[in-house]
Amino acid sequence: MSDDAPFADSVFGLGDLPAIELSILSRVGGRDYNEDACGHWHSEQYLCCVVADGAGGHGGGDVAARLAVRHIIEQASAAPLHAPDEVHDLLLDTNASVLSHRDDDPAQKDMHSTVVALFIDLSSGTALWGHAGDSRLYLFRGGQMLAHTRDHSVVQSLVEAGLLSPDQMRTHPQRSELLSALGTPTEHLKVSTASRPWVLREGDVFLLCTDGLWEHVDEAEMSASLARSNDPADWLARLEQSVLTHARSTGKPRHDNFSGIAVWVGNPMA
């Protein structure tokens, strides 16, 4: 992705489902190169969005992230998904694809990538999602955040054990330590999916993003900026400014790459 304005696109729903709009943003941040990757595909009936955050050094992490995005989109476009176990199987297959490319180049031998993916069936008006690592999917309805995915990370495990509050995750010294990501041997890989299809209605908003974004923008600011935004591209631009402002205020000129895809189902304040 270039450092231009957020890319925007529109997907028109079928039947009673309102128009779906999306926008994509990916920035290098304070790093020398961007190891994040984003992509989407849609037909008249289906929409697939993917965000990935690579790790493993230049020539490794960025490759893993691009491989993950490409593989998920290729497979979802060839055989659209309709059930949580299909999402789970696709993430396992994507992991196998990343592992299979480690021998392509010595620089790729340790490559990993987080991933989060959203799959919308426009004809049934339902959504599925899945993830590995600490790239997140946030779900908003009527302008309020309902939930977000739970990271496969050290700090998330500390939160679940009652040893850390959710607010402390963003500043904890172990916040970047993952318990799972693509590129992990299958027997150790952890992936999570939506437990059942989510029935869409007008006002639903999804944000898929890497930790370089959510680490600097808390849920309250996400909701507040959503209420002030005219469209998904405007919202991502506001989130970008929040990331940059917070990074400057905390003295982090070398802050991480940050990326996101915003998907709006009609009016987010409906």
pLDDT, tens only, 99-156? 999 989 888 888 999 999 999 999 999 999 999 999 999 999 999 999 999 999 998 8
What are the residues whose beta carbons fall under 8 Å from the beta carbon of 55, sequence distance 6 or more?
Answer: 35, 61, 64, 111, 112, 113, 114, 178, 181
Please check the confidence at residue 23 and state whether its pLDDT lies above 60.
Answer: yes
Give me the amino acid identity at 159.
Answer: V
Q: What are phi and psi of 226, to 5 degrees?
A: -60, -45
Show the tokens assigned to 103. Answer: 């021998």
Neighbours of 197 (CB within 10 A): 18
For 37, how many CA atoms within 13 A lie in the half-sphere containing its CB?
23
Q: Are 188 and 99 in contact (CB under 8 A)?
A: no
7-265: CATH architecture:
4-Layer Sandwich (3.60)
Q: Are 201 and 269 in contact (CB under 8 A)?
A: no
Which pLDDT belongs to residue 268?
94
Please check the confidence at residue 198 and state whether its pLDDT lies above 50.
Answer: yes
Mean pLDDT of the chain: 91
Taking 3-state DSSP, the helix, strand and coil percentages for the chain, each rounded to the nearest 5, stand at: 35, 30, 40
Which of 69-73, 175-179, 197-201, 261-265 comes out lowest in average pLDDT? 175-179
CA pair distance 82, 56, nearest whole angstrom: 33
Q: Are 2 and 9 in contact (CB under 8 A)?
A: no
Q: Which of 118, 119, 83 is nearest to 196 (CA)?
A: 83
